Amino acid sequence: MILNMLKSMLSNFDMDPVVKLPAQKLAIIQHKPLEAPDLSKIRSLASPGENLDMAQFDGQRYVQPWKKTRKGIEFLDVFKLLIVSLGAKAPSKKEVSSMLSCKMNWQLIKSPPDSGGTQVTWMGHACFLIQIDNIKILTDPVWSKRCSPSKFLGPKRFCQAPCRIEELPPIDVVVISHNHYDHLDEYTIKKLGNAPIYVVPLGNGKTLRSMCVNAGRIVELDWWQECSITPKVSLVCLPAKHWSKRGLLDNNKALWSSWGILGSSVKVYFSGDSGYCSAFKSIGEKLGPFDLALIGIGAYSPDSLREFHMSPEDSVMVHLDVKSKKSIAMHWGTWKLSLEHVFDPPRELKRQLKMRMLDPDSFISIRCGETQQVLGAIQDQEEEEVLLESNT
Ligand SMILES: [Fe+2]
């Protein structure tokens, strides 16, 4: 066992920083990028006098409105997490292919549902390809092997991205939840270039510009601000209980968030990274119900990590709070970032749903590379009408 652990740790010191990629494909160059949105039309969803959760900016850093609910991480746990980040206890390739990954269904991706629905494909961790109202959105895309400032050290992806970045259809919008390395990746951003519009929480534009994204392609929003991306799709920056850090001294200098993606008949919620907090009820009341929610279920052990991440127990509460009709699990099964077993989060999710007597199909975990389609309220209604007609 010790030998296996050593082997696994050593394999994480390889010198191959990123997947070897061919030159950019023509599809990306030929795609007509979306026009940059009209920033003067950004609006706040907060009505005058409404007491919504807001992060305060003290001139240097963002401060979130919630008190800490857990004690800080203990030294022994820091040591254990360091060992884990070196590759200990990551699943084998065999386990990954039998339990976690699958081939992408390119046929589905080429023919997404029309405006009556949405289609999402999990690319691992917090990255989804969302096809909605004829545009393609990527959330928190990371194609690097490691989520780390170093190309040679740090957590290494045990479940590979299901396709090369060049194989993706042209991306219209990239949504970023925050600047941690498992959510914002320089290699990926440089590959995507200036074709997409980048929609980010306040203060993250600077990091994107340092990655060669033109200022005109970046939209920065505060919590509860909404920006229309196309006549049919708008994005709403929403609260999350998390934090930010990318360099040595930049703690909380950029904001973090979750997101609402509002289409013509489908509403999608993307939780980003967050601990459980009161914001989810406000989000549900303000924007719910959501047809689909993408909710983090992993990186919750030791318990101190639940200050900023969700356990499946927390995730199920979020699913209910935001009034999600269907939820898909994320933030698990890609990098070993915490002490729970890699396959515990989906198992625990099933247990929590059963304990609360909730439909097991209402909150599912899917394979990396798998596509799910969700119908919107309008299409649901049309189907019901067809059913009624056929029954009369
Ligand atoms: Fe994070």
3-state secondary structure of 78: helix
**Longest Cα separation, the chain:** 69
How much distance in Å is there from the Cα of 181 to the middle of ligand 1? 8
How much distance in Å is there from the Cα of 120 to the middle of ligand 1? 22
How much distance in Å is there from the Cα of 303 to the middle of ligand 1? 16
Neighbours of ion ligand 1 (CB under 5 A): 180, 273
Indicate the DSSP class of residue 101.
B
pLDDT in tens, 329-338: 999 999 989 8
How much distance in Å is there from the Cα of 85 to the middle of ligand 1? 15
How much distance in Å is there from the Cα of 33 to the middle of ligand 1? 29
Contact 183, 140 (CB under 8 A): yes
How much distance in Å is there from the Cα of 251 to the middle of ligand 1? 12
Cα–Cα dist 45/84, whole Å: 42
Contacts of 323 by beta carbon, 8 Å cutoff, 6+ apart? 284, 288, 289, 290
How much distance in Å is there from the Cα of 308 to the middle of ligand 1? 8
Q: 154 in the Ramachandran plot: left (φ > 0), alpha (ψ -120 to 50) or beta? A: left
Q: Is cis: bond before 289, omega within 30 of 0?
A: yes
Which residues, listed in sequence order, are joined to residue 130 by a DSSP beta bridge? 120, 137
- Closest of 321, 346, 348 to residue 331, by C-alpha: 346
Cα–Cα dist 375/132, whole Å: 11
Cα–Cα dist 183/176, whole Å: 7
Indicate the DSSP class of residue 13.
T
- Closest of 370, 311, 299 to residue 339, by C-alpha: 299
Q: What is the pLDDT of residue 285?
A: 96
- Closest of 125, 117, 144, 134 to residue 173, by C-alpha: 134
Long-range contacts of 95-99 (CB under 8 A, 24+ apart): 96/158, 96/159, 99/343
Cα–Cα dist 368/163, whole Å: 10
* Domain residue ranges of the chain, discontinuous segments joined by +: 2-46+76-391
pLDDT in tens, 209-266: 999 999 999 999 999 999 999 999 999 999 999 999 999 999 999 999 999 999 999 9
Q: 360 in the Ramachandran plot: left (φ > 0), alpha (ψ -120 to 50) or beta? A: alpha
Q: What is the pLDDT of residue 49?
A: 86
Split the chain (392 residues) into runs of 10 and give each run's mean pLDDT: 46 41 46 89 90 93 91 75 71 91 95 87 98 97 93 90 96 98 97 97 98 97 97 97 95 98 96 97 97 96 92 98 98 92 96 98 98 76 52 46
Q: What is the pTM of this model?
A: 0.88
Which residues, listed in sequence order, are joined to residue 236 by a DSSP beta bridge? 226, 260
How much distance in Å is there from the Cα of 272 to the middle of ligand 1? 8
3-state secondary structure of 227: strand
Contact 319, 293 (CB under 8 A): yes
Structure tokens at 55: 């992060």
Pairing between β-strand 135-139 and β-strand 363-364 as defined by DSSP bridges = unpaired
- The mean of the pLDDT values for the chain is 88
pLDDT in tens, 266-299: 999 999 999 999 999 999 999 999 999 999 999 9
* Superfamily of domain 2-46+76-391, CATH level 4: Ribonuclease Z/Hydroxyacylglutathione hydrolase-like (3.60.15.10)
Q: Is cis: bond before 345, omega within 30 of 0?
A: no
How much distance in Å is there from the Cα of 388 to the middle of ligand 1? 47
How much distance in Å is there from the Cα of 180 to the middle of ligand 1? 5
How much distance in Å is there from the Cα of 183 to the middle of ligand 1? 7
At position 118, the amino acid (one-letter code) is T
Structure tokens at 86: 């070196």
How much distance in Å is there from the Cα of 22 to the middle of ligand 1? 30
3-state secondary structure of 371: strand
Structure tokens at 90: 């990551």
At position 117, the amino acid (one-letter code) is G
How much distance in Å is there from the Cα of 361 to the middle of ligand 1? 27
Give the side-chain half-sphere CA count within 13 A for 284.
15
Cα–Cα dist 273/61, whole Å: 18
